[in-house]
Structure formats: structure tokens, C-alpha cells
Structure 1
């Protein structure tokens, strides 16, 4: 495996996909949508819906709260693909307006929080800290393109090596941190890509020509809050996004926190700052 291809593989191994108000800039966005939820179709228990069989048992890595109602739901995206999700609604919601996760382009959005974010399009196309050269990028694209022919001939996609397997020694600290989350009861889930599973080899193709922060200024005049750990290897993503965003904007750097600390370390997640931010900007 050449250096460029190894870099892409390592990127996918290191990437975290889930956690508390985490993710890309397009996640963690709060919008008030009247009394409506973002999901139009619910599933019975157990149910076949859109070709998906939904289980109704509690299967999360965190305890179920008695303050919310939970149910499995399905909905069709704009491409007509049926997706499954978990819907949580406050038990005391009555007719109050509810927050929903939506994309940044939706002008119903009132305020945005991006916690421990990744710019996946940047890291896929340039590697960590932008070390991939144009020549390496071209070589990787050529290899991934050939892989599509191989996948077509085989009738199924080939997958990358399993992510976040037990460290063997000498790994960067953030890879050790990832295994400590995704490879242990702290965050392990049998269906999670990062818990010893993997994306397809050709997954990076969808990201390499799509700079996701191109229109970040259009979030303004809605306020945006970036939250990131001081010791996170991914801190530069938030710093770059913060610099590119228009006012009003805030950047909170949590002292001593790593990337995964802001997934579930309740003593480090700045709940007060996030609550105050949404409380201020979601009024009315």
C-alpha cells in the first residue's frame, strides 16, 4: 500500500462519527420547527418499513432517560432512500416548539453548535494537517477509481481494514483514545462502523471534491458556537471553521480535553455554555 493510500486508510480508522453534539458543521444545528418533528413516518414494533426491519429494544450504549419518549422511525430522504433513526421527544413537550437537527442551508435554523467537529472533506482530500501532496492525491484517486471496476466485477464492495482495533504500541495518542471509546463498553456498539467495522475502500471518493465549509459564512446572521478540546488532534478543524465563519460566532476551547472527551465525559462537556447559548438564541 503506497503512502497516499495508507493516509486515506488511517484517516478512516481515526474518524469518530457519534457523540454528544458532535460531528460536522452540518450536524448539531438547532432549528425551531413549530410543533412538528423532522420525521414524518413512524414504525410499529417490531416492523418492516421501507425494506428495513426495526428492532424496538433499547440498544444504545447510554442509559435511557425517563424524561423522554423514544421510538424507532423511518423517513425518506430527498433521494428517495428510506433511512432509519431514533426519535426522542420530551415527555412534557405538550405544544412547545422543538429543536431538530437540520442542515446549515435551512433558513429555519436559529442557532448552531458544532462540538468536537471534523471537516471530513478536508481530511479525506488532504490528509491530517494537509500533508497529502497533489501527486499523492492524484494517485489515490486513480486507485480508488480502479477499485470501482473491481467492486463491479466482484458484485460487492471491498472494505478497508477494521477501525479502532486494540493498540499494538506506538500509535498516536488519539488513535489510542479512539479505541478507548469505540472498542470498550464506553462506546462500543456492534453496528457502529468505528467499533471494529469499516467503510468501503471507495468511500473517500464522495468527499474528496466537496469542500463542505465553502458556504459557512451563509450561516450568519444566525449565531454559531464551536466547542473543542484543547488537546484534540482535530482542534485545527474548529479553528479554521471559526476563522472562516462570519459574526456572530464563538469558540470555546475546553482545557485539557481530548477529541473523544467531549463525546461522553460529562465533567468536561461545557453543558452550561451550550445551554446558555441555545437559551439565548432560540427565544421567540
Structure 2
């Protein structure tokens, strides 16, 4: 079973908290390929990016580092609960800066895994940082696209007008507006007529013992959502996303659009070596923690990363 060490590493002007998962029989005198695991939007390192995929990939022989995004979880940055695409993207490179200083990391073989919204930021980071040699996504989403769609009720300009008014109010002393992304319980979702599979299953994951964790607050600090309204994770992937790519999705479609958006990424990416994995009968949140769907995802991700990060060479 993978052993875990919690570390603190330097970000912009604050520290980033991360959990490092080590392979069984880890030998610090050896060098290992490494994978950076990025958590979903509103999530934290203690959830699916670390406890499911982090442990499994470490058990397969990789060093894996799952981190909390800036302004979220146990990482630093004020104000809290900011979901800014620039910072979220650059977090990956700061984590890699840490990895390349560790003597047990093979700095020529570093990959990235992103889950849900974390996949969009992983895509953006992989376009920029050529130290990333392979990219895997699980139920990948593009939060900028969702902000222009459902998160703004398909009225991004109206959202920006409301954001401007709230920012002025806060500058004059009003309290911050923290917007929950989910209902407080599955029953509350049903009572509100929210029946979409992604909304219901996200609530079941994040609001119960199934996946609940202290750092996974599933909330946005409203006045800092503006950059997402004009950002797109897939901008110019036809030119800049050339690294090997493995895209994993389930075939049960929900409002968070991972099926549609992951298919788009797979189709548009410039990667010459790319693989699409559709897990039959699996929903978005099945691929967070359910043993059979995550097992099928890992059955593809492990050899994918093993090949492109030269595991065992």
C-alpha cells in the first residue's frame, strides 16, 4: 500500500499543500517517474485525486503528488475559495518545480492527471509546461465553458454585471458572497426539483461520508469568478497540446458535460498518440471512487503512463 507524506511547497507568494504518495518498497536512492494529480473544481487533495487515483498510481510504481489548489483546501492564498484559471493552471508548474528538486524523481518523466475541472487546468498547464511528458484526464471538464453555460444560467454577461455590482458593494464594506455549487443534501436537491444525474451524484459524493472532506468546500467566492467567463481550457490545443493523451469518460451523460467536453478535447488535441476510454454504464461520479469504474480507468491509465513515462526502464 502506498505511503503518504504531506509537504508544503512554494507557489506565487504562499505555500501549496500537497500529499506525496510513494510506491511500495520505495527506495530514495532510486529515481521514479512522477505524476501530478489535480483535483476537481471545489474539491481537495484528500478526495479522488489523492485517495483513489493517487494511491492506485503509486501502488503501480509512480511517485504521485496530489495538491490543493491555491486559495483552497490547506494551501495558502487570500481571499479564500478563489477559482482563478491563471492561478489554478500555474499551480501545476509550481508542483513540478518541487518535484524536479527531489533526488528520487526522474525529471525527464513527469506526467499529469486531471479529474473533472482539474482536467481543464491540467490541459492548460500541459500546453505551457514542456516538462509534462504525458497527460491523462478522467471525466474532464472545461470550467470556463461551464461558466458561460450552466454556472451562469447561460447568461455570462448578466453574471458579470452582478459580479461588478457585488465587487463594488464589497469594496464599500459588504460581506463576501460565497456561492455554493451544490445543494446541502440529496434530499434538498430532490425537494428543489434538481434531478440531473451529475447534480444528484455530486451531492451524494461531496455532502455525505462517501467523499466529504474538510477541504472540499464546493463553493465559489463570487466576485473572483470573472476570469472564468472568458477563459477556455481548450484554446489552441490544436497547436500546443502535443504530448501523449489519455481521455477517460463514462457514457452516462449529465449536466457537467464531461462526456461532450472530453470528446471535444480528444478530437481537437494535436497529440499524435492519444487514447479515448469510454467506461460503459459509468457516470461522472462513478469515476471518482466506485471500485469497478475507477478500476477500468486505471487499467488504461497505468499502462498509458507506464509507456510514456518509462516506468521500469
Deviation at 1:243, TM superposition (A): 1.4
- The 5-angstrom pairing of residues 67-146 of structure 1 reads 67-68=2-3, 70-77=4-11, 79-94=12-27, 95-101=30-36, 102=92, 103-104=125-126, 105-127=128-150, 132=154, 136-146=155-165
CA–CA separation in structure 1 for the residues paired with 2:181 and 2:148 = 21
Match runs of 1:265-284 below 5 Å: 265-269=290-294, 270=296, 271-283=298-310
Question: Are 2:184 and 1:165 equivalent residues in the alignment?
Answer: yes
Contact 1:164 1:182 in 2 (8 A): no
Q: Larger deviation: 159-168 or 247-256?
A: 159-168
- Measured in 1, the distance between the counterparts of 2:140 and 2:209 equals 23
CA contact (8 A) 1:232 1:258 kept: yes
Show the counterpart of 2:168. 149
Deviations 1:17-74 (A, max 9, x none): xxxxxxxxxxxxxxxxxxxxxxxxxxxxxxxxxxxxxxxxxxxxxxxxx432x22221
**Structure 1 residue 175 and structure 2 residue 196: aligned?**
no
Secondary structure of 2:222 counterpart = coil
Tell me the number of residue pairs that the alignment of Structure 1 and Structure 2 aligns: 209
Identify the residue that residue 211 of structure 1 maps to in structure 2. Answer: 232
Gapped regions of structure 1 (runs ≥ 5): 1-65
State the Cα distance separating 1:113 from its structure 2 match. 0.4
Counterparts of 1:131 and 1:149, CA distance in 2: 22
| Over 6 Å off, 4+ runs | none
Q: Is the 8 A contact 1:112 1:225 kept in 2?
A: yes
For the Cα contact (< 8 Å) 2:33–2:309, is it kept in 1?
no
Q: Give 1:80 shift.
A: 1.9
Structure number with bigger Rg: 1
Post-superposition shift, 1:241? 1.0
Higher relative contact order (CA 8 A, sep 6+): 1
Work out whether residues 147 and 156 of structure 2, in 8 Å CA contact, stay in contact via their aligned partners in 1: no
2:197 and 2:23 map into 1 onto residues whose CA distance is 38
TM-score normalised to the size of structure 2? 0.61
Instruction: Give me the TM-score of the superposition, normalised by structure 1.
Output: 0.67
Distance 1:190 1:74 in 2: 18
* Equivalent residues of 1:72, 1:84 under 8 A apart: yes
| 1:201 is aligned to 2:230 | no
